[in-house]
Amino acid sequence: MKNLLLLFLITTVIYADNNQSSIDQYHDNLCEILVSTSNSIDNYFIEESNSSIGSSTHAEFSSSVAMENSQAFEKSVRLRLRLSLPKIQKNLSLVFEDENNDNSLYDRTTLNEEKLVDKSYYLRLEYFKFIKKKFNLVAGAGLRIRHGNLVPYLNLRSRFDLYKEKPIKSSLYNRLRFYSDGEIEDIFEFNTHYKFDESAYAIFRNQLTLSNLDNIETLYHDISLVKELNKKKQLSVGGGVRSVLKNFKDYSVEYCHLHTLYHHLFYKNWGYYQVAPSVLWRESNQFRTSYRLMLNFGILFKKG
């Protein structure tokens, strides 16, 4: 994987002055395959040769490495694919993603080092529907896949806008998931977004995660300041706290961290990298100060 990313970076530098390099052609071909696959599924159910509906099909692949003075060297890959099916239903889409992308608590403080064949994957059909002006709902059904084991599940996501008057927007979010093996997972979020101007804003995020398989509840609080430096560069700084409860008692802090993220879409509109330094105080390290650096390289796939 590291060799692949190195080859990608070297190739983009060598062909930076060419309008259509071989890597561009390869990327365009992959985008075309994704859109063609999406259209083929759509056309299988509804034959409509003169449809003018565009495709919002897209995918993202990224690879990360991280170093921290109190932890072992870490690496991980992330994968997500969304196929739009507008002919069948305007708001219908097919989603495939690995467990890293499915994890709503991902905050760059740890990386999943499992190989691609050892990870859990989620394949689901989602239907997005606005119910009211301030409320929307996404319903879906899918499969959790790991080592050939298939676990069907139902997925419900909802969002309610509590307050929406410039420059403040506050929303409640919930994801409820029922697995056929009896597991029930529930995630609640309360987020507030404050917009300073067209290029700067702050996000205050609060999350509670529950599961009926254990008696542990996970809490996460984070505040981030984000500045869009230009159309391709973004910088964010912030701080967060992750803690756990046992049956809503015995509160304990897992870690606190100060974090920074620099995001650069450095090659056309699809090649990007991220640099994310942070300072952490982990319970597992007796809250001694540790310093962490994560590097992430990613590729976006989308036609147009």
Q: Please give the full DSSP string across 152-171, using - where no structure is assigned.
A: EEEEEEEEEEEEEETTEEEE
Spatial separation of the C-alpha atoms in residues 252 and 255, rounded to whole Å = 9
Q: Tell me, rounded to whole angstroms, the distance of Cα 129 from its chain centroid.
A: 21
What pLDDT shows up at residue 10? Answer: 47
Spatial separation of the C-alpha atoms in residues 198 and 116, rounded to whole Å = 39
Give average pLDDT by consecutive 10-residue segment, the chain, 304 residues: 48 50 79 78 59 70 89 84 70 81 71 67 82 85 86 93 92 95 94 96 95 90 96 96 91 95 92 95 93 93 77
Contacting residues for 54 by C-beta, under 8 A, at least 6 apart: 86, 304
What pLDDT shows up at residue 2? Answer: 47
Is the Cβ–Cβ distance between 99 and 113 less than 8 Å? no
Count of Cβ atoms closer than 10 Å to residue 84 Cβ:
22
Token representation of residue 14 = 């060598």
109 burial type by CB count under 10 A (0-12 exposed, 13-18 middle, 19+ buried): buried
Does the domain at 2-47+58-302 match CATH 3.40.190.10? Answer given as: no
Spatial separation of the C-alpha atoms in residues 290 and 262, rounded to whole Å = 20
Query: Tokens 């708001």 sit at which residue?
Result: 91
- Tell me the domain boundaries of the chain: 2-47+58-302
Is the Cβ–Cβ distance between 40 and 280 less than 8 Å? no
pTM tops 0.85, yes or no: no
Count of Cβ atoms closer than 10 Å to residue 132 Cβ:
9
What pLDDT shows up at residue 86? Answer: 61
